[in-house]
């Protein structure tokens, strides 16, 4: 098994901070929270806590996914943000580069997902026991010569690996995905998936907040 090799700590890519929350860009290859063992202690939340000691995770991104993360400051705010995510009061958008040219300019993938227990952490489509899972997609650009498409993805539900499994399930895996892309994994040096936009109302002031982060690929 490949050892965990997080990217060097070059300081936080900080987009916003106040007494309630912090918004940062997570680099690809960095865990959102600590993994098992001391070798997996370096993570996004520990790096943020080095600057904001009361920062607490409110949601996660896969290790190989880059992009926007909001962290709560203190347990009361963490509870509030958990509720906002659970009640779908936070709008999330991702950008990805997928294999093949999507014929539809937009659409949705509605396939139930469940953990593939013998092959954890993989997830799989399961129509009998899977949990309802919905992803909306919009084609941003198509490259016939390169046999790929750039897409915007909206996870309406928030299942583990949802975007990755759904795109692979419709025949357009995300380039660089070591779990689901098959031969398309070798077409990129990293998973080409980036959390590019977050929108929500401030949990204290009710101000409308919108954060954007262009993908680094």
Tokens of 52: 């904001």
Distance, CA of 29 to CA of 141 (rounded, Å): 26
Q: Which residues contact 20 (CB under 8 A, 6 or more apart)?
A: 72, 73, 77, 202, 203, 204
Give catalytic residues, as residue numbers. Answer: 62
| Residue 13, strand partner residues | 25
Where are any strands of DSSP class E within the chain?
13-17, 21-26, 55-57, 66-73, 91-99, 106-110, 113-115, 123-125, 134-143, 148-155, 193-201, 208-212
Q: Tokens 């050892």, residue?
A: 3
């Amino acid at each position: 098994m490949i050892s965990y090799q997080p990217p060097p700590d070059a300081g936080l890519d900080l987009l916003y901070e106040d007494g309630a929350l912090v918004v940062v860009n997570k680099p690809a290859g960095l865990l959102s929270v600590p993994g098992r063992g001391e070798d997996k202690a370096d993570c996004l939340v520990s790096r943020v806590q080095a600057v904001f000691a009361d920062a607490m995770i409110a949601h996660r991104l896969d290790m190989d996914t880059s992009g926007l993360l909001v962290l709560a400051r203190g347990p009361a705010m963490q509870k509030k943000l958990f509720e906002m995510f659970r009640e779908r009061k936070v709008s999330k958008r991702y950008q990805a580069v997928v294999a093949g040219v999507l014929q539809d300019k937009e659409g949705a993938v509605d396939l139930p997902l469940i953990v593939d227990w013998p092959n954890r952490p993989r997830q799989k489509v399961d129509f009998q026991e899977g949990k309802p899972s919905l992803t909306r997609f919009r084609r941003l650009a198509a490259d016939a010569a390169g046999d790929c498409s750039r897409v915007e993805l909206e996870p309406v539900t928030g299942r583990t690996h949802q975007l990755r499994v759904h795109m692979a399930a419709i025949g357009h895996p995300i380039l660089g995905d070591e779990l689901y892309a098959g031969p398309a994994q070798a077409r990129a040096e990293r998973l080409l998936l980036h959390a590019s936009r977050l929108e929500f109302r401030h949990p204290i002031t009710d101000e409308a907040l919108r954060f954007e982060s262009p993908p680094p690929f």
